């Protein structure tokens, strides 16, 4: 019987390695968090399997002149897994996995006095449930490598595994199943699909081993049908699987485009146009200020301009009210001439009610003879 220590030590070493890598996982969340589904399918290789018959069967075979151990070989077969998982956004993932493997028998040979057993047949199948802990190791260009370990329960079945000795006097048949604790190590590569956010193609290797199942075996004479021995065999069960698959993180559809930056409201800006005493016509400096207001309105894509006319207190209230309106209309006309739409301009006449510099009645104050252009 092959020692089971080496694969088990490999599993323990893998667990330790994963723990060390988890402590060094990237702090930044560069992996997708949340639930995902995954599946894989590929090839399964089973090493030649040693088996030993229990003491009662060995004794019966010994009385018949045969040894109580042998080896069964398997041809390459198939393996498949389906998983539900959860990513934590930092590379760490947990999975619940269902698996299936199948390999046909291609050889059977006896040891300790047996002749080589010919005409093998039957197959080994296994299925089970595993819980896995995996760690994505980082993003390296188009690929994300990952490792993992798992533990669970796997049923191993030998369906019609048989062989006949070369002298034709002994036939072995094993047709039984047994479930045992299982362990596995995983190493893989994920290739995110650029045009399908959340989807990745995976390529991975898995080693799966179980504690030795106990399977019922019988030995008889194929010519007479007479029973020679019976008992249980305990084969080693190790699987090496190479699989291709897909993994899809739920809720990772087309990535939303970055929201357009919110428009930053611009503070309203005021421009002051001053007039001579008792006048409503524009000076050269007044035209320059109006032009500055127009340029500002265009740069800010303003849709509203308020034009308010004012007068000082040298004159009657009625006269100053009318004068402030003429001044506002003069400025509005210049704005229109320079390209501002008339419907975007609101005109008000405030007369002498809002002076910049408070004065007594009948005082001429240049700063109060103005039009304020407010660009919003």
- CATH code where residue 29 lies: 2.40.160.20
Q: Are residues 72 and 217 in the same domain?
A: yes
Q: What is the pLDDT along the chain (376 residues), one digit of tens a residue?
A: 444 444 444 444 444 444 444 443 443 335 778 999 999 999 999 998 887 777 766 776 766 666 667 788 899 999 999 999 999 988 999 999 999 999 998 877 764 334 445 567 789 999 999 999 999 998 888 899 999 999 999 999 999 888 777 667 777 888 999 999 999 999 999 999 988 888 999 999 999 999 999 998 888 887 887 888 787 888 899 999 999 999 999 875 444 444 544 444 456 889 999 999 999 999 999 999 999 999 998 888 877 899 999 999 998 889 999 999 999 999 999 999 998 889 999 999 999 999 999 988 888 999 999 999 998 8
State the residue range of the domain holding 340: 269-375
One domain, residues 244 and 318: no
Residue 256 maps to a domain: no
Does 259 map to a domain? no
225 and 320 co-located in one domain: no
Q: Are residues 294 and 166 in the same domain?
A: no
Structure confidence at residue 262 (pLDDT)? 47
Rounded to the nearest 5°, which phi and psi values hold at 338? -95, 10
CATH number of the domain enclosing 292: 3.30.1330.60
User: Same domain for 30 and 173?
Assistant: yes
- Domain end position, chosen among 249, 281, 298: 249
Query: Residue 9 in contact with residue 211, Cβ under 8 Å?
Result: no
For the chain, the first-to-last Cα distance in angstroms comes to 90
**Is residue 285, in this structure, part of any structural domain at all?**
yes
Q: Phi and psi (nearest 5°) for 148?
A: -165, 165
Name the pairing type of β-strands 269-274 and 49-52.
Answer: unpaired
243 plus 278 within the same structural domain:
no
Question: In the prediction, which pLDDT does 154 show?
Answer: 97
Same-domain pairing of 109 and 244: yes
- The tokens of 293 are what? 């207001």
Rounded Cα distance between 189 and 195, Å, is 19
| Residue 53 in domain | yes
Q: What is the pLDDT of residue 68?
A: 65
- Number of domain units in the chain: 2
Would you state the pLDDT for residue 267?
A: 63
Is 69 found in the same domain as 118? yes
For residue 320, being part of any structural domain is answered with: yes
- In this prediction, residue 67 carries a pLDDT of 65
CB neighbourhood size of 281 (10 A): 10
In this predicted structure, what is the pLDDT of residue 93? 96
Whole-model pTM: value is 0.59
> Do the strands 227-233 and 199-210 form a parallel or antiparallel pair, or are they unpaired?
unpaired
* pLDDT score at 66: 66
Is residue 305 within 8 Å of 273, Cβ to Cβ?
Answer: no
Tell me what pLDDT residue 178 has.
Answer: 96
Q: Under the phi-then-psi rule, with left for phi > 0, alpha for psi from -120 to 50, and beta for the rest, what region is 2?
A: beta
């Amino acid at each position: 019987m092959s020692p089971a220590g080496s694969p088990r030590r490999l599993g323990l070493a893998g667990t330790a390695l994963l723990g060390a890598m988890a402590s060094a996982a990237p702090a930044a969340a560069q992996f997708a968090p949340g639930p995902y589904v995954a599946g894989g399918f590929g090839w399964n290789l089973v090493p030649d399997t040693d088996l030993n018959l229990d003491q009662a069967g060995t004794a019966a075979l010994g009385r018949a002149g045969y040894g109580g151990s042998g080896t069964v070989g398997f041809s390459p077969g198939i393996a498949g897994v389906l998983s539900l998982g959860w990513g934590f956004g930092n590379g760490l993932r947990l999975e619940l996995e269902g698996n299936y493997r199948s390999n046909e028998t291609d050889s059977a040979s006896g040891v300790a006095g047996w002749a080589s057993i010919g005409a093998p047949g039957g197959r080994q199948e296994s299925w089970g449930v595993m819980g896995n802990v995996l760690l994505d190791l980082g993003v390296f260009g188009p690929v994300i490598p990952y490792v993992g370990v798992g533990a669970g329960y796997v049923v191993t079945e030998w369906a019609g595994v048989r062989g006949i000795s070369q002298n034709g006097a002994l036939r072995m048949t094993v047709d039984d199943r047994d479930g045992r604790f299982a362990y596995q190590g995983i190493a893989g590569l994920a290739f995110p699909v650029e045009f399908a956010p959340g989807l990745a193609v995976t390529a991975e290797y898995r080693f799966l081993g179980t504690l030795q199942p106990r399977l019922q075996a019988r030995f008889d004479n194929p010519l007479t049908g007479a029973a020679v021995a019976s008992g249980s065999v305990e084969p080693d069960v190790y699987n090496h699987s190479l699989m291709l698959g897909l993994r899809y993180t739920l809720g990772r559809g087309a990535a939303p485009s970055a929201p357009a930056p919110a428009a930053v409201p611009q503070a309203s800006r005021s421009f002051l146009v001053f007039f001579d005493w008792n006048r409503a016509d524009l000076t050269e400096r007044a035209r320059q200020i109006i032009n500055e207001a127009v340029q500002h309105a265009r740069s800010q894509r303003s849709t509203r301009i308020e034009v308010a006319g004012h007068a000082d207190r040298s004159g009657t209230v009625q006269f100053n009210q009318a004068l402030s309106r003429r001044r506002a209309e003069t400025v509005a006309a210049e704005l229109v001439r320079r390209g501002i739409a008339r419907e975007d301009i609101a005109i008000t006449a405030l007369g002498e009610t809002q002076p910049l510099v408070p004065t007594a009645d009948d005082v001429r104050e240049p700063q109060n003879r103005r039009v304020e252009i407010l660009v919003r």
